[in-house]
């Protein structure tokens, strides 16, 4: 039997921890012939002195233990952290305990913002890791030794697993079951719970559109606004530099300093964001979307989507289109 300790900081989304526990318990219920004990034993711990975990929804969860009551040198199969908590004191309580406990666990797992606590404990140094897309820049900025990746739903690097936001922890949990007990059990758990064992289109977080904006008003900020209204135009560095009367070299330096992105990267991200928006909100053909957003043809649009999002434009529209278009 594999014992799983789930550490649930206060103030997060409780369905992360309870959903993971339900998935593991479903693994216990299936194919029990010949089993002398359950596959998983789940324990929930909190940093709170009263053992009540307050969820951001207003609902509460009663933990099995206070984290301070648990011996860190006890042998454990898996330690999971769901979220990063609401205070520095709580974060330190978790990370201090985790530094002592990690050597005695087979694997350590984070869900969503829990990656920040793994990083703070030093467990992510030199490792690939992910977290919720809103926290990717924070993770990289505060912990430069972590190899942060923004795309995957979850990442395994040796004994350490990290996942993206919220429900991606369920994808990770199915992957843990598959690693522990094989494909068939993981597939059957997914089917019983009406989940994807592996989501179509690859394992990818879909962040909202995030375009680097100039730090202050001025020529660069004005140019960014113009770019968004003229995505089908020639947006080469030379043309953009000419638009605000700069040399290409000086323009690239100033634009990168003001926005944190090169002109080419900004244009590429702006075009992709606009294409995503049109696929979500309009019934335009793929060719119309491609032309309007500066990709030129549906073939180029498809290539970019497959490279950046691991989906075709048609598959993206099917998954994210506005319901009124159905």
Residue 114, burial from CB neighbour count under 10 angstroms (0-12, 13-18, 19+): buried
Please provide the average confidence, as pLDDT, over all residues in the chain.
Answer: 91
Closest CA to 205 of 264, 156, 256, 150: 150
Instruction: Please determine, for residue 180, whether its predicted confidence score (pLDDT) is greater than 90.
Output: yes
Tell whether the model's pLDDT for residue 213 goes beyond 80: no
Residue with tokens 């278009």: 325
Task: Write down the pTM of the prediction.
Answer: 0.71
Res 112 pLDDT > 60: yes
pLDDT category, 215, cuts 50, 70, 90? confident
Bigger pLDDT: 308 vs 236: 236
The rounded percent of the chain whose pLDDT value lies above 90 is: 71
pLDDT class of 165 with cuts at 50, 70, 90? confident
pLDDT, one tens digit per residue, over 241-287 is 999 999 999 999 999 998 888 999 999 989 998 998 899 889 999 99
Q: Where are the domains of the chain?
A: 2-192, 219-325
Looking at the predicted structure, is the pLDDT value of residue 202 above 50?
no
Beta carbons of 268 and 303 less than 8 angstroms apart: no
The per-residue pLDDT for 119 is: 97
SS3 state at 182: coil
Mean of pLDDT values over 42-65: 93
Adjacent-strand bridge partners of 81: 7, 110
pLDDT > 70 in the chain, percent: 94
What is the spatial distance between Cα 8 and Cα 82, in angstroms, rounded to a whole number? 5
What is the model's pLDDT at position 167?
A: 86
pLDDT grade for 324, boundaries at 50, 70 and 90 = low
Contact in structure between 71 and 44 (CB atoms under 8 Å): no
Lowest mean pLDDT among 50-54, 88-92, 249-253, 306-310: 306-310
Q: Please determine, for residue 201, whether its predicted confidence score (pLDDT) is greater than 50.
A: no
What average pLDDT score do residues 60-80 get?
96
pLDDT higher than 60, residue 326: no
Which pLDDT band, with edges at 50, 70 and 90, does 206 fall under? low
Q: Which tops the pLDDT comparison, 316 or 73?
A: 73
- Please give the CATH number for the structural domain made up of 2-192: 3.40.50.880
The CATH number fitting domain 219-325, selected from 3.40.1390.10, 3.30.420.40, 3.40.50.720, 1.10.10.60: 1.10.10.60
Whether the pLDDT of residue 207 is over 60: the answer is no
- Report the candidate in 249, 244, 295 with the shortest Cα–Cα distance to residue 273: 295
Closest residue by Cα to residue 18 from 67, 71, 50, 64: 64
């Amino acid at each position: 039997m594999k014992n799983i300790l789930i550490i649930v900081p206060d103030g997060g989304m409780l369905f992360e921890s309870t959903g993971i526990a339900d998935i593991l318990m479903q693994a216990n219920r299936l194919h029990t012939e010949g089993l002398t004990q359950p596959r998983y034993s789940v324990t929930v711990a909190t940093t709170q002195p009263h053992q009540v975990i307050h969820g951001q929804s207003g609902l509460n969860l009663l933990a099995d233990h206070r984290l301070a009551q648990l011996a860190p040198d006890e042998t454990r199969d898996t330690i999971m952290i769901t979220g990063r908590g609401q205070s520095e004191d709580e974060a330190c309580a978790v990370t201090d305990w985790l530094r002592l406990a990690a050597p005695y666990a087979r694997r350590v797992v984070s869900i969503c913002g829990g990656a920040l606590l793994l990083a703070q404990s030093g467990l992510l140094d030199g490792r690939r890791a992910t977290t919720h897309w809103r926290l990717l820049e924070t993770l990289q900025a505060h912990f430069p030794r972590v190899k942060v990746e923004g795309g995957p739903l979850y990442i395994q690097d040796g004994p350490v697993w990290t996942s993206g936001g919220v429900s991606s922890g369920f994808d990770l949990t199915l992957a843990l079951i598959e690693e522990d007990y094989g494909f068939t059990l993981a597939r059957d758990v997914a089917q019983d719970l009406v989940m994807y064992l592996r989501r179509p289109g690859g394992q990818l977080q879909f962040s909202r559109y995030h375009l680097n904006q100039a730090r202050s008003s001025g020529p660069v900020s004005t140019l960014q606004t113009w770019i968004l209204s003229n995505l089908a135009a020639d947006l080469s560095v030379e043309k953009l530099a000419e638009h605000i009367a700069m040399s290409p070299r000086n323009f690239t330096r100033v634009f990168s300093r003001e926005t944190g992105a090169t002109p080419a990267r900004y244009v590429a991200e702006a075009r992709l964001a606009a294409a995503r928006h049109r696929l979500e909100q309009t019934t335009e053909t793929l060719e119309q979307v491609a032309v309007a957003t500066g990709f030129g043809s549906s073939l180029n649009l498809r290539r970019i989507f497959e490279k950046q999002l691991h989906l075709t434009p048609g598959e993206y529209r099917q998954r994210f289109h506005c319901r009124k278009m159905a």
